[in-house]
Amino acid sequence: MYKVKTMKKRNRLIRKLEEQKKKAQKVFCAFLTLGYPSLAATSKLIESFEREGVDLIELGFPFSDPLADGPTIQFSSEWALRLGVKMQDAFQQVRDLRKKGVEIPIVFFSYLNPIHHYGIKRFVLDAKKAGFDGLIVPDCPPEEEKLLQKICCQEGLSQVFLVAPTTLKPRMKMIVRHSEGFIYYVSLRGVTGARKSLPIDIKRPLDFMRRQTNKPVLIGFGVSTPKQGRRLAKLSQGVIVGSAIIDHLRNSRGRLSPTVRFVRTLVNAVKKHG
């Protein structure tokens, strides 16, 4: 088994999670697709979300063959790809946000193919230099790409791994050991997308992981309403919302303020009632 290495550098993500733990407050993470509906809009939304109390940003890099993403995220990725969004745009955008004083932790979400194409070492170094704090690669489990894990560890870029409802306990233990920053628990079987209801058998795996680690467990996939966010916050250390935010952007036809107001309701539900 690949030996777990602990990061020696504390980034914004680690510091924010520690801060929230000390305050006994839940964590809210918002997902955005880079370049949807535009690069300028993505930057404005990140700044607005920080002001509204969002704790973390998961910034998704658009990819043509997303295995874990449902129709909503696929739509936003295809839109961004048509605009010609490139890897360098992600680095430049975060670099510009950091220069403006934006301090919210930002986690890079990407499938492995674009990272391979860019070059693993080059990617990690450029991402860290630009101001990213973490990395989520859903098609890269802990057994794969040890070089990526090694360089992320050396550079202080937290690599977050996912646990699914179908994950067996021995494997769950292994993933929990390897995941840096937090553990991403996928609340449902299938792809991303807002759901009217969530599974009822969530508590058991969360309790199991809680006995294995003191790392926070954040729940994502399928969360679409403040009520759902409130319920899941009571079971975990935090909630991740993606497709519902993209749906609001799509339905608002270019206006950002309705989405910002929606995110405000999610933040309030997760943090004040979790």
**Type of residue at 68:** A
Nearest alpha carbon to residue 79 among 56, 60, 98: 60
Q: Which helix (H) or strand (E) holds 219?
A: strand 217-220
Catalytic residue among 50, 55, 69, 145: 69
Q: Give the gyration radius of the chain's Cα atoms.
A: 17
Q: Cβ neighbours of residue 247 under 8 Å, at least 6 residues apart?
A: 72, 194, 224
Choose, from 19, 47, 52, 58, the residue flagged as catalytic: 58
For residue 65, indicate whether it is catalytic: no
On whether the CB atoms of residues 168 and 140 are closer than 8 A, the answer is no
Please give the Cα distance from 177 to 185 (Å, whole number): 14
Determine whether 58 is an active site residue.
yes
Dihedral-angle region of residue 131 (phi above 0 means left; psi in -120 to 50 means alpha; beta otherwise): left
Residues in the chain: 274
Query: For residues 239 and 223, what is the distance between their CA atoms, to the nearest angstrom?
Result: 8
Q: Which residues are known catalytic residues?
A: 58, 69
